[in-house]
Homo-oligomer: A and B are copies of this chain.
Amino acid sequence: MEGAIPTARMRAKAEVRGEIIAEARRQLAIEGAPALSLRAVTRQLGMASSAVYRYFPARDDLITALIVEAYDSLGEVAEAAVTPDGPAVDRWGALCRAIRTWALEHPHEYALIYGSPIPGYQAPELTIGPASRTTLALSGLVVEAFETGQLVGVGEEELTPAAAAEVGRVADLAMPGVPLPIVARAVAAWTQLFGQISFELFGQLQGVVEDPAALFDQSVTVMEAVVGLRPGSSNRA
**Interface, chain A (partner B; CB < 8 A):** 31-32, 34-35, 111, 114-120, 123, 125, 128, 131, 153, 155-157, 159-160, 162-163, 165-167, 169-170, 173, 184-185, 187-188, 191-196, 198-199, 202-204, 207-211, 213-215, 217-219, 221-223, 225-226, 230-237
Contacts and interface: CB of A to CB of B under 8 A. Distances in A.
A203 B236 contact: no
B231 A237 contact: yes
A188 B118 CA distance: 28
* Identical copies of this chain, number: 2
A208 B170 contact: yes
Contact of A199 (B165, B194, B217, B231): B194
B207 A128 contact: yes
Given A166-B210, A210-B169, A188 B223 contact: yes
Nearest to A199: B191
A202 B113 CA distance: 9
